[in-house]
Amino acid sequence: MRRHARLRTACFLLLGGVTLTVELVDAQGNQVQPQQTGMSSGNASATGPTSAPAPALHVEEFGITDGAPVDRGFVFFDGRYIEAPYAVRRKGLSVFIGDVMVEGPARWPLPGAGPTSEVVDPEVPPAADANTSQFDPAVTEYVGLKLAYLEKHYSRDEIAGRMAEAYRQLPCVRSAVVQDAVNLSVTWSSGNVDRVCLFPPSRGAAWHDKESLLEVYERMRENYEKRLKAGTVFFLFSAGGQTTMSEATSVVALPPVVAILRSGMTREQKFAALQAKGWIDVVPELGPGRLVTDFQASPQLEERLNETIRRYEEEQRKGKEEATSKGG
């Protein structure tokens, strides 16, 4: 499994202060995209109850899509195992797995939504400093509005360089390097590295309109549902981001990870043991640290782990037998 907070590959679609992720996977089905996914005004993609006002989901304008229950895959939120089955639901401009928001909500209406709409060149957030999170509302607002402004006033050939400079103006950014006319590499003060794709292939010219934005969130919902059906394990964090395992990885990695988390080791020993395994890089000061500090299992977790291993081994055995019979 990829390491969580060292190097992250991302493809971001910036929608007026909202960062939506186009997910990438390797040949084994493991996620090779950012630990951070969709954000709403700087909030992490997976959010739980807080004292802050509930964000607007825009259900009235965009409606709801309910997915069928999925009894495959595993979901952990801030270290707590969420019991299956999982229903992936789009509510307005947000996506939920059960009660956990994993994407959104996007702002609506978006700045610059109309051809004559005025988009003002934003100032660097005055309160931002080296310790400001990349998910701070002021930071995500600044980045989204900056891209919207540049698209109104400059050609695509000019935008990458100007966006890199906009990132470098942020005190919480160590470096921003133009990789090509479409992609940037942004290193944050936290050490996180994002590959920012300014113009994903899926993004059409009418990306500001209601239908296109709805399509983005429908694809997100379908993608989460598809990955759960394939047995993906999601570790979600309210402080921002997610780490995933494919089913092939989880049958080997998840049982010892759970065993470490449930053991009598000290907090520091658990961090060290998980990092030594290399399956999850649980940096204490980042969201994944809650896997250690707040881990909660349930009887269902062990039952489903055993069933997943049994089913996976059976599927592998049948696959080999079929391959052998065809080869013969």
139 and 128 in contact (C-beta within 8 Å)?
A: yes
Question: Domain boundary at 193, 225, 257, which?
Answer: 225
| Residue (of 287, 206, 299, 291) closest to 253 by Cα position | 291
DSSP class of 249: H
pLDDT of residue 133: 79
Beta bridge partners of 89: 66, 96
Distance (Å, whole) CA 185 – CA 125: 21
Is residue 64 domain-resident?
Answer: yes
pLDDT digits (tens, 9 = 90+) for 235-259: 888 766 678 888 888 888 899 989 9
Instruction: Mark whether 162 and 25 lie in a shared domain.
Output: yes
| Domain-located, residue 272 | yes
209 with 278, same domain? Answer: no
- The answer to whether residue 3 sits within a structural domain is no
In tens, the pLDDT along 59-82 reads 999 999 999 999 999 999 989 999
- When divided into structural domains, the chain yields a total of 2
43 and 122 belong to one structural domain: yes
Together in a domain, 92 and 42: yes
d(CA 44, CA 19): 10
Render 130-182 in DSSP notation, one character per residue: TT--TT-HHHHHHHHHHHHHHHHHS-HHHHHHHHHHHHHTSTTEEEEEE-SSS
Compute the distance between CA of residue 281 and CA of residue 288 in angstroms, rounded to an integer.
8
Q: Are residues 96 and 170 in the same domain?
A: yes
Domain final position from 194, 225, 256: 225
Q: Of 225, 259, 292, which marks where a domain is finished?
A: 225
Domain match, 97 and 217 both: yes
**Helix, strand, or coil here: 257?**
helix
Instruction: Clarify whether residues 189 and 264 are in a common domain.
Output: no
- 221 and 261 share one domain: no
Question: Is there a single domain that holds both residue 217 and residue 265?
Answer: no
**Structural domain contains residue 161:** yes
Q: Decide if 135 is inside a domain.
A: yes
- Claim to verify: residue 193 and residue 298 sit in the same structural domain: no
| Rounded distance between C-alpha atoms, residue 241 and residue 38, angstroms | 8
Q: In terms of residue numbers, what domain contains 296?
A: 246-327
Are 144 and 291 members of one domain? no
Token pair in block for residue 135: 């998910």
- Is 60 within a domain? yes
- Which residues are within 8 A (CB) of 219 and not within 5 positions of it... i.e. 6 or more apart? 202
Residues 89 and 159 in one domain: yes
Q: Does a structural domain hold residue 255?
A: yes
Per-residue pLDDT of the chain (328 residues; tens, 9 = 90+): 333 332 233 333 444 333 333 333 333 333 333 333 332 322 334 444 333 456 688 899 999 999 999 999 999 998 999 999 999 999 998 899 999 988 877 777 765 555 545 678 899 999 899 888 777 778 878 888 898 889 888 988 899 999 999 999 999 999 999 988 888 989 888 777 777 878 754 444 444 578 878 888 898 899 999 999 999 999 888 766 678 888 888 888 899 989 999 999 999 999 888 888 776 666 666 667 888 889 999 999 999 999 999 988 898 888 888 888 876 5
- Residue in the structure block whose two tokens are 């702002």: 107
Do the domain assignments include residue 265? yes
